[in-house]
């Protein structure tokens, strides 16, 4: 059925939802704005959660951080479900071509046994680090306050599962899909002294309840150390002068990390600028977790980089410190 409309008479009554007009004025809203702002319930909750009876179902008091407006924590990528999934699908198509190329030419399997074992030792156990990050990110998405932070945290949760599976694929490219590399990596993660200090900190994060602290510790501090250490410094060492196969697979992780860092930085900067108390709190968390995680990474970095290890650690710590300063924190 086609409609005959007297076009000159048809003007919308309003250009956007009331809650968006109150924030941005009476003008058309973006899809990010429509999907994000003020969506989470804030009032008149009915029941005391059996799992947290002293607070409401959604409750700003699940973190010590206080915001005048939780929707100030916007995502500069402006992700909503649609552009998030299509972006990730496109990126996956690109990395699939690389995975295919590496598989067809047996590029990882044809490395020397020593080189393969070094990748299994130093890279493949990080699938468990990513699964830990998935847990921590799910914690933020579940207990965070306001859709502006919880929706991207949900997407980050999914991203971390994706990254865990990407790293698992590196293992399968080494072991010819037998799964032996994955089993070996799991044993390293749970038992080998090189990895225990890091696993210890990941488990400590699992019992950290303040979701903003979890956000800071996992997404700012831990990732800022792990990503450049493993996918740049250790990647270089394992490649023996730039073996393109492993580097091209690690590059996928690095690009994702750079994209995600824009969101992390925007959140931290805005929260720290909101009050002196927030700034002190977040700075303290960065300090605490930096001081836990840096030594926790020492053994595995030492194992792979030998006498280069201290320089590599010092350089990623310096980068983290500079980033924190740029975000308005004081360490």
Ramachandran assignment for 79, one of left (phi > 0), alpha (psi -120 to 50 degrees), beta (any other):
beta
Distance CA(115)–CA(133), nearest Å, equals 27
Of residues 201, 256, 231, 189, the one with CA closest to residue 316: 231
Q: CA-CA distance, 160 to 20, in Å (whole number)?
A: 31
* CB 61 to another protein: min, Å: 16
Pairwise CA distance, residues 315 & 225, whole Å? 10
String marking each residue 181-200 x if it binds another protein according to CB under 8 A: -xx--x--xx--------xx
Residue closer to another protein, measured from CB, 96 or 258: 96
Residue 202, both tokens: 């990941």
Tokens 């799910």 — which residue?
Answer: 138
For residue 156, state whether it binds another protein (rule: CB under 8 A). Answer: no
What's the rounded Cα separation, in Å, for the pair 227 and 232? 8
User: How many Å separate Cα 26 from the centre of its chain?
Assistant: 35
Binding footprint of another protein, residue count (CB under 8 A): 96
Nearer to another protein, 162 or 228 (CB): 162
Nearest of 126, 227, 115 to residue 185 by alpha carbon: 126
Measure the CA–CA gap between 30 and 196, rounded to whole angstroms. 46
Q: Is residue 116 part of the contact set for another protein (CB under 8 A)?
A: yes
Site for another protein in 50-79 (CB under 8 A): 50-51, 57-58
Pick between residue 145 and residue 231 the one whose CB is nearest to another protein: 145
- Closer of 87 and 308 to another protein (Cβ): 87
Q: How far apart are CA 218 and CA 129, in angstroms?
A: 10
Please tell me whether residue 203 binds another protein under the rule CB under 8 A: yes
Of residues 85 through 114, those in contact with another protein by CB under 8 A are 85-86, 88-90, 92-93, 96, 103, 106, 109-113
Structure tokens at 331: 């360490």
Compare residues 214 and 272 and give the one whose CB is closer to another protein.
Answer: 214
Closer residue to another protein, CB minimum distance, 210 or 321: 210
Q: Is 145 in the site for another protein (CB under 8 A)?
A: no
Measured from the CB of residue 312, what is the shortest distance to another protein in angstroms? 25
Select from 69, 76, 179, 322 the one that contacts another protein (CB under 8 A): 179
User: 272: which 2 tokens?
Assistant: 């720290």
Residue selected from 63, 151, 250, 260 as contacting another protein according to rule CB under 8 A: 151
Residues 22-51 that bind another protein (CB under 8 A): 29, 31, 34-35, 38-51
Least Å distance between CB 147 and another protein?
Answer: 8
- Contacts with another protein, 120-139, as mask; x by CB under 8 A: -------xx--x--xx--xx
- The least distance separating another protein from the CB of residue 305, rounded to whole angstroms, comes to 24
Q: Using an 8 Å Cβ cutoff, are 256 and 159 in contact?
A: yes
**How far from 104 is each of 6, 97, 98, 110, 173, CA to CA, in Å?**
61, 10, 10, 11, 10
Closest approach of Cβ 152 to another protein, in Å?
11
């Amino acid at each position: 059925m086609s409609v005959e409309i007297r076009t000159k008479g048809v003007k919308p009554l309003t250009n956007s939802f009331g809650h968006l007009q109150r924030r941005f004025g009476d003008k058309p809203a973006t899809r990010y704005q429509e999907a994000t702002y003020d969506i989470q319930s804030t009032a008149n909750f009915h029941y005391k959660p059996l799992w947290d009876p002293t607070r409401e179902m959604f409750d700003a008091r699940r973190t010590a951080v206080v915001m005048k407006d939780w929707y100030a924590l916007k995502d500069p990528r402006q992700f909503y479900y649609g552009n998030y999934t299509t972006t990730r699908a496109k990126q996956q198509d690109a990395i699939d071509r690389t995975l295919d190329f590496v598989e067809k030419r047996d590029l990882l399997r044809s490395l020397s046994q020593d080189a393969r074992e070094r990748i299994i030792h130093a890279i493949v156990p990080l699938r468990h680090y990513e699964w830990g990050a998935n847990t921590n990110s799910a914690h933020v998405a579940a207990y965070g306050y306001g859709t502006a932070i919880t929706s991207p945290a949900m997407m980050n949760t999914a991203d971390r599962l994706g990254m865990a599976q990407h790293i698992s694929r590196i293992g399968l490219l080494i072991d010819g899909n037998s799964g032996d590399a994955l089993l070996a990596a799991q044993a390293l993660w749970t038992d080998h002294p090189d990895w225990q200090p890091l696993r210890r900190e990941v488990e400590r994060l699992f019992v950290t309840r303040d979701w903003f602290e979890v956000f800071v510790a996992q997404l700012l501090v831990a990732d800022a150390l792990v990503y450049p250490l493993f996918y740049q410094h250790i990647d270089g060492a394992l490649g023996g002068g730039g073996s393109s196969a492993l580097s091209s697979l690690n590059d996928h992780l690095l690009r994702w990390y750079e994209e995600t860092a824009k969101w992390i930085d925007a959140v931290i900067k805005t929260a720290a600028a909101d009050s002196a108390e927030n700034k002190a709190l977040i700075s303290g968390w960065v300090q605490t977790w930096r001081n836990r995680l840096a030594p926790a990474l020492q053994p595995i970095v030492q194992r792979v980089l030998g006498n280069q290890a201290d320089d590599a650690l010092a350089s990623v710590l310096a980068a983290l410190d500079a980033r924190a300063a740029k975000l308005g924190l004081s360490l």
